[in-house]
Homo-oligomer: A and B are copies of this chain.
Amino acid sequence: MTNLKNDIFLRALLKQPVEYTPIWMMRQAGRYLQEYNETRARAGDFLTLCKTPSLATEVTLQPLERFPLDAAILFSDILTIPDAMGLGLYFAQGEGPMFERPLRDEQAINNLNIPDPNTDLRYVMDAVAEIRKALNNRVPLIGFSGSPFTLACYMVEGRGGTDFREIKTMLYDRPDLLHRILDKNAQAVTTYLNAQIDSGAQAIMIFDTWGGALSHSAYREFSLRYIHQIIDGLIKQKDNLRIPNIVFTKGGGLWLESIAEISCDAVGLDWTIDIGEARRRVGEKVALQGNLDPSILFASPAVISKEVDKILSSYGNGSGHVFNLGHGISQFTPPENAAALVEAVHTLSRQYH
């Protein structure tokens, strides 16, 4: 049994009955909130914010103070693992995350070590524990990681937002090398996520931000296969409670059936797919999370409400839907529009349950 005051998010992921559709927002602790920017300024820089458990706890809880969200998500970065592997993560002004030592050389790949989450990534585990304490069972806490392929994109390219030239050249020219990286990443992610569960994470999400850049067959071989490996290795139950997991490949709408087959509990959707169609395609296999275009939050509350209703009615009756955006909330979102979203989901969804 759960001590949670609000466990509707966990129930929806397990397709158990709920009174309304739960909602949280990817990147809900972020730059669109003034209080976040204040904490970040206090931290000095983004990495210090991630690496200081008390500050990570503070920003994790900020959106929950504003909006009646149904889940909290650990504030951290997806690049903690390659950082702990020693690739030299840094944030260049206006450039996003970069690595000092991109991983392209066979020797360096062979020497890649799998971080011990309880020492090398202690600050993440401490943050998880501190957030759980601060949440005081208000809502569940989601732990997360990037997928092995998404991490490898950053590791090999040395940065995000590229044309994937380096990693795709490796993929097609030296698939053995990329498989070696991905295998290490999968091991690293598995132990990292299990350590998060041990520290208090009550659900797990895997972000496959760049898997959608792959061809249909390369996706299966170089991304999904390793996510599957992680899902197989995850702790599924703790203190008699199920720890559900969510897999989100942005741009993966064409591959839903394959994703649903890896025994994950839920699949995240971006806004390019009709959620009702997605539900018909995956059947009863998994719950679905999504899928509002975050840009809709630039419009009026009336428009937001109408678009929320479209998604709710397309999903239809019954449990198994966690409302979310199809991508992280934009830094330019007016917070009152995020409030309107949460309100709309909570109010309009009751008729479907």
Using CB atoms and an 8 Å cutoff, list the residues of chain A in contact with chain B.
163-165, 168-169, 171-173, 212, 214-219, 251, 253-254, 271-274, 277, 293, 295-296, 298-300, 303, 307, 310, 326, 330, 332
A273 touches B298 (CB 8 A): no
A295 touches B168 (CB 8 A): yes
| Chain B residues closer than 8 Å to A215, beta-carbon distance | 271-272, 293, 326
Which interface residue of A168, A253, A295, A326 has the most chain B CB atoms within 10 A? Answer: A295
| Chain B residues closer than 8 Å to A310, beta-carbon distance | 217
Could you say which of B219, B272, B273, B332 contacts A165, with CB atoms under 8 Å apart? B332
Q: In the assembled complex, how far is the CB of residue A220 from the closest CB belonging to chain B, in whole angstroms?
A: 10
A298 touches B212 (CB 8 A): no
A216 touches B273 (CB 8 A): yes
| Chain B residues closer than 8 Å to A253, beta-carbon distance | 253-254
A298 touches B217 (CB 8 A): no
**Number of this chain's copies in the complex:** 2
A218 to B310, CA, bound (A): 12
B330 touches A300 (CB 8 A): no
Q: In the assembled complex, how far is the CB of residue A212 from the closest CB belonging to chain B, in whole angstroms?
A: 7
Which interface residue of A218, A272, A274, A277 has the most chain B CB atoms within 10 A? Answer: A272
A274 touches B216 (CB 8 A): yes
The contact sample of 11 A-B pairs, CB cut-off 8 A, is A168-B296, A172-B295, A172-B296, A172-B298, A172-B303, A214-B293, A215-B293, A215-B326, A216-B274, A217-B310, A251-B251
| Chain B residues closer than 8 Å to A298, beta-carbon distance | 165, 168-169, 172-173
Could you say which of B254, B273, B295 contacts A272, with CB atoms under 8 Å apart? B254
A215 to B164, CA, bound (A): 24
Shortest Cβ distance from A270 into B: residue? B215
* Interface SS, A side: helix
Q: In the assembled complex, how far is the CB of residue A263 from the closest CB belonging to chain B, in whole angstroms?
A: 23
Q: In the assembled complex, how far is the CB of residue A164 from the closest CB belonging to chain B, in whole angstroms?
A: 6
A303 touches B217 (CB 8 A): no
B272 touches A330 (CB 8 A): no
| Chain B residues closer than 8 Å to A219, beta-carbon distance | 272
| Chain B residues closer than 8 Å to A330, beta-carbon distance | 163, 165
> Beyond the given A173-B298, A254-B272, could you list 17 further A-B residue pairs with CB under 8 A, ordered by the A residue number?
A163-B330, A164-B295, A165-B295, A165-B330, A168-B295, A172-B303, A173-B299, A173-B300, A173-B303, A212-B272, A214-B293, A215-B271, A216-B271, A216-B274, A218-B293, A251-B272, A253-B253
A115 to B168, CA, bound (A): 42
| Chain B residues closer than 8 Å to A216, beta-carbon distance | 271-274, 277
A251 to B216, CA, bound (A): 12
A298 to B254, CA, bound (A): 25
Which interface residue of A173, A215, A218, A219 has the most chain B CB atoms within 10 A? Answer: A215
Which interface residue of A163, A310, A330 has the most chain B CB atoms within 10 A? Answer: A163
A102 to B271, CA, bound (A): 26
Shortest Cβ distance from A164 into B: residue? B295
B172 touches A299 (CB 8 A): yes
A253 to B214, CA, bound (A): 13
Q: In the assembled complex, how far is the CB of residue A336 from the closest CB belonging to chain B, in whole angstroms?
A: 15
| Chain B residues closer than 8 Å to A212, beta-carbon distance | 272
| Chain B residues closer than 8 Å to A277, beta-carbon distance | 216
A61 to B199, CA, bound (A): 64
